[in-house]
């Protein structure tokens, strides 16, 4: 094996070292900055993943609402809201009927004067107010019934109670059966609301974001 060697002048060697020194110092000084500053890819992942990562609702379009309360709690909320709304509706409609009677003279010529207008207005307000209260009371606790079904059920219950009480009064001559009118109206309103609620449904759910994905099932119960 033959070794080749050549002599390099000392001045040329010193000049080469002087040229390398600024580059080495600059690289050593910039190394921490390069380590601290994130790359464009890391910066985009940080911004998207940490500051504004798309949530499950944003990525899938689903909006999760609180689950439905148990049936007993729903019925309690429906009855409470129905009674409160019926009382408010009866008060407003009764005062309105009395004022209309005073202004127009309708029913004023009867024996009770405007008392019957007050009574009829209050009864109408309560008959409409109770199903409305059942509807919004059920919605508050996660129910999913329909207002028209609550109104229809209340109306059918009211009619059934009235007709049934008339038959019982004709047979017995006693008026205790009149209590069936409001009771059947209350039962009909809640029954109509609950029967019109949407049935449970389940469907696949896919969620994607910058940190990965998730596959599962989502539904309403």
Does 106 fall in a domain?
yes
Task: Judge whether residue 118 has pLDDT over 60.
Answer: yes
Does 151 fall in a domain?
yes
Task: Judge whether residue 5 has pLDDT over 50.
Answer: no
For the stretch 60-102, pLDDT in tens is: 444 444 567 899 999 999 999 999 999 999 999 999 999 998 8
Taking the C-alpha atoms of residue 153 and residue 97, their distance in angstroms, rounded to an integer, is 25
The residue-averaged pLDDT of 116-125 equals: 92
Residue 124 belongs to domain spanning: 71-195
Residue 48, judged by CB atoms within 10 A of its CB (0-12, 13-18, 19+), counts as middle
* pTM for the structure as a whole: 0.61
For the stretch 161-206, pLDDT in tens is: 999 999 999 888 888 888 999 999 999 999 999 999 876 566 666 6
pLDDT at 211: 72
Tokens of 115: 């008392």
Q: How many CB atoms lie within 10 A of CB 4?
A: 4
Does 42 fall in a domain?
no
Does 221 fall in a domain?
no
Q: Give how far Cα 159 sits from Cα of 127, 132, 183, 213, Å.
A: 11, 17, 11, 56
- Residue matched to tokens 């994607």: 208
Does 125 fall in a domain?
yes
Q: Name the average pLDDT for the chain.
A: 76
The residue-averaged pLDDT of 134-145 equals: 94
Does 81 fall in a domain?
yes
For the stretch 26-43, pLDDT in tens is: 444 444 444 455 555 444
Does 132 fall in a domain?
yes
Q: Which residues share a beta bridge with 205? A: 216
Domain total of the chain: 1
Does 210 fall in a domain?
no
- The answer to whether 98 and 125 are in contact (CB under 8 A) is no
């Amino acid at each position: 094996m033959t070794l080749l060697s050549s002599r390099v002048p000392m001045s040329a060697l010193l000049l080469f070292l002087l040229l390398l020194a600024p580059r080495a110092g600059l690289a050593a000084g910039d190394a921490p900055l390069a380590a601290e500053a994130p790359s464009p890819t890391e910066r985009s992942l940080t911004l998207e993943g940490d500051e504004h990562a798309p949530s499950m609702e944003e990525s899938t379009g689903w909006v999760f609402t609180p689950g439905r309360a148990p049936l007993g709690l729903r019925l309690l909320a429906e009855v409470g809201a129905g009674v409160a709304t019926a009382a408010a509706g009866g008060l407003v409609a009764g005062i309105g009927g009395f004022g209309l009677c005073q202004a127009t003279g309708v029913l004023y010529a009867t024996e009770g004067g405007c008392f019957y207008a007050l009574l009829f207005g209050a009864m109408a307000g309560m008959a409409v107010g109770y199903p409305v209260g059942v509807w919004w009371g059920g919605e508050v606790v996660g129910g999913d019934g329909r207002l028209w079904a609550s109104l229809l059920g209340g109306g059918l219950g009211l009619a059934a109670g009235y007709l049934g009480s008339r038959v019982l009064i004709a047979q017995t001559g006693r008026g205790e059966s009149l209590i069936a009118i409001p009771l059947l109206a209350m039962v009909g309103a809640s029954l109509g609301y609950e029967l019109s609620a949407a049935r449970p449904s389940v469907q696949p759910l896919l969620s994607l974001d910058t940190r990965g994905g998730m596959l599962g099932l989502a539904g309403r119960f």
